[in-house]
Amino acid sequence: METLRSRGITRDDVWQAADSLLKAGQRPTIERIRLHLGRGSPNTVSPHLDAWFAALGGRIQDPQGFAPAPGCPEPVTEAARYLWEAALQVAKASAEAALTQREAALAEARAALELEREALAQERQVMQARLESAEAAMAELARARDDATERAARAETAGAALQQQAETLRAELAAARQAHTAMQQDFATQRAAWDQEREIVTQRAAANERRMALELDAARVAAKEVQKQLEAERKAVVERLTRAAEAASRQGSEMTRLGQAIAVLEERVRQRENLLAEYRDQAGAATAAGAGSANPAVRRAPPARAALAAGKSSRRRMRGL
């Protein structure tokens, strides 16, 4: 039998140790063989033990595989036969157990392999999807690159146009600044003229205000005079009415005429009072106008003169009565 040496342990050493354990009624294992030999690593013992299990079936079928040497005593032969049968049973049990374990391990390995195949299939699908996505992304990037190149060309053209427009705008800005400077100078000149004209207008307005104040004072004096005249007329009318009342007791025929005259006089008195109220309103409006234009005040002054003329005419008519 060919020997394979590895770290000082041969296949025969492992097989002899396995046979000894089997004859002792123990199942040969890697750890038991190492303990039996007193040396050896699991990596060295394991392949020799697998080979021993693989050859065990053929050795069991050979009756001489475990037979004692010729000339042995009968008790030794019986013991050997007993050990043989015991070893055969143990070997069968060990072989069946090992077969069961190997089948279970194989089933687990097949299940793990199936799971791994499924995982690989899923991973392949994922990788395929990623590849397709990457290809689509590359195509999109290519299109984006082309678009970017085209946009860059357009941007360069637009930049040149904008540069030209900027030069034109700079020239227009310089011209606008010159025009602005000229406009500022013109505005300064016009403002000086406006300031001078405003001073003149202010002086004229002050003169008009002084004139309006004088006219307003005159109008107030005239209003007071009209009030005095109206009061005198009223007293005269009252006296005349009194005399007329005394004469009425003596002259019945005069009563009707005097009553009519009194009504006429009272109507005239109401007209004078209305005229005076209107004049007062106009005078108040002229006072509130203040620093306004002088022409309206000048136009409001005549009603006072008209009131004076109306008062004189009324007095003449009263004397005629």
Number of structural domains (the chain) is: 2
**Domain assignment present for 253:** yes
- From the number of C-beta atoms within 10 Å of its C-beta (0-12, 13-18, 19+), residue 87 rates as buried
Q: Does the residue 300 lie in any domain?
A: yes
- Mean pLDDT for all residues in the chain: 78
Of 75, 101, 129, the domain-final residue: 129
Q: Look at residue 188 in the predicted model and tell me its pLDDT.
A: 84
Of 107, 129, 151, the position where a domain reaches its end is: 129
Does some domain include residue 46? yes
In a domain, 223, yes or no: yes
Q: pLDDT tens across 127-148, in order?
A: 889 889 888 988 888 888 888 8
Q: What is the DSSP letter of 38?
A: T
Query: Is the confidence at residue 7, as pLDDT, over 70?
Result: no
Nearest residue to 33 via CA among 79, 24, 101: 24
213 and 109: one domain?
Answer: no
For 121, the domain range is 11-129
Residues 125 and 210 in one domain: no
Query: How would DSSP label each residue in 266-309?
Result: HHHHHHHHHHHHHHHHHHHHHHHHTTS-HHHHHHHSHHHHHHHH
Q: Which residue has the higher pLDDT, 157 or 296?
A: 157
Residue 151, in any domain of the structure: no
Average pLDDT of span 43-66: 78
Cα–Cα distances in Å, from 102 out to 14, 89, 95, 170?
21, 19, 10, 93
Domain ends where: 129, 157, 192? 129
pTM above 0.75, yes or no: no
The closest of 38, 35, 19 to 94, measured between CA atoms, is: 19
**Angle of CA points 249, 250, 251, to nearest 5°:** 100
